[in-house]
């Protein structure tokens, strides 16, 4: 994709996702993601009924009359889009490629963060860390993140989720919201994910294509494993082969879901063919219910 084509794609993606940010996700995003807590704002004279634990004894001693500390909620968040660019994410038989869905969702989440005056950054990885863009504020910065995700085409084929998760644990020193966009075709990353989720709010957006779960009945075909290059022939005309393929995929998905639950990580399934808006809406609704308040949808 040329520079001009990439710029045009980013602009089109911004236009396509703008109404989602303005009309749907911005208010919900604000309500389900908490800031880092409270921070000191100012002092004022003590009034009857104030909590005596809030008295600022230094100011009180200087002025000779009781003063209490005032605090405000610190709403600002750090949002990280961690995007898997391995060979398997360049796959998509219907609708869009997995990487294209990742860019669309990244645009929505990044622009929602910008609208809320939060900082957004990105980690692009495959077999290793390909690019890390530190979190910053501003629409121009968010559109740069989207551009980089769209143009991300690493030479490496494989996926190293452990390396990506451990990298984020090292570089993020304040609690962040991490959106992990991947098809999770890797093993052995459970401990690293659980450790990251202890310190940060991690949301796994699982990218999948319909052919990850079911084979079409098209006779004898050669299939290629994108991350290893391994090839084999499959007789898709055999019901037994198709059933075995579907059963294996279901076991992988069940085990992965169980692992996310154990690690305390929310999961949002993203299908390359289906609309991604509803899964995101359901995710926001689940988070809102857990906080015990009715969902607030921003309207314009």
| pLDDT tens sequence across 139-193 | 899 888 888 888 888 887 788 999 999 999 999 998 899 999 999 989 999 999 9
- Residue 254 domain flag: yes
Cα–Cα nearest to 107, from 162, 25, 37, 188: 25
**pLDDT tens readout for residues 219-229:** 998 887 777 77
Domain total of the chain: 2
The answer to whether residues 48 and 181 belong to one domain is no
**pLDDT tens readout for residues 110-129:** 888 888 889 999 999 999 99
What are the residue ranges in the chain where pLDDT is below 70? 1, 23-27, 30-31, 34-41, 71-75, 291-300
CB 296 within 8 A of CB 28: yes
- Phi (first) and psi of residue 105, to 5 degrees: -70, -40
- Read off the pTM: 0.78
Pairwise CA distance, residues 131 & 124, whole Å = 5
- Residue 296 domain flag: no
The answer to whether residues 112 and 45 belong to one domain is no
The answer to whether residues 162 and 45 belong to one domain is no
The answer to whether residues 122 and 250 belong to one domain is yes
The answer to whether residues 238 and 195 belong to one domain is yes
CB 144 within 8 A of CB 133: yes
The answer to whether residues 166 and 225 belong to one domain is yes
- Residue 166 domain flag: yes
Pairwise CA distance, residues 46 & 66, whole Å = 5
Amino acid 298: pLDDT: 41
Range of the domain at 170: 3-33+75-290
């Amino acid at each position: 994709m040329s520079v001009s084509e990439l710029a045009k794609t980013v602009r089109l993606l911004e236009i396509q996702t703008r109404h989602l940010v303005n009309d749907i996700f911005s208010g919900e995003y604000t309500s389900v993601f908490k800031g880092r807590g409270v921070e000191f704002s100012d002092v004022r004279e003590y009034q009857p009924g104030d909590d005596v634990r809030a008295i600022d004894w230094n100011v009180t001693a200087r002025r000779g009359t009781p003063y209490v500390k005032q605090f405000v909620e610190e709403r600002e968040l750090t949002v990280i889009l961690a995007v898997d660019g391995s060979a398997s994410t360049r796959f998509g038989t219907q609708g869009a490629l997995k990487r294209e869905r990742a860019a669309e969702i990244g645009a929505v989440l990044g622009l929602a963060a910008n609208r809320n005056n939060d900082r957004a950054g990105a980690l692009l990885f495959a077999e290793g860390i390909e690019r890390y863009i530190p979190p910053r504020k501003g629409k121009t910065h968010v559109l740069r993140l989207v551009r980089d995700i769209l143009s991300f085409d690493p030479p490496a084929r494989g996926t190293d989720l452990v390396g990506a998760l451990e990298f984020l644990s090292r570089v993020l020193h304040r609690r962040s919201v991490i959106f992990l966009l991947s098809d999770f075709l890797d093993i052995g990353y459970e401990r690293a994910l659980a450790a990251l989720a202890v310190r940060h709010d991690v949301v796994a957006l699982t990218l999948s294509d319909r052919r990850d779960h079911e084979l079409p009945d098209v006779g004898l075909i050669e299939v290629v494993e994108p991350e290893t290059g391994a090839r084999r022939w499959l007789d898709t005309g055999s019901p037994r082969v198709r059933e075995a393929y579907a059963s294996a995929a279901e076991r992988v998905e069940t085990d992965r879901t169980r692992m996310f639950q154990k690690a305390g990580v929310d999961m949002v399934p993203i299908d390359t063919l289906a609309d991604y808006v509803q899964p995101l809406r359901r995710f926001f609704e689940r988070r809102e219910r857990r906080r015990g308040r009715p969902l607030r949808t921003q309207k314009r």
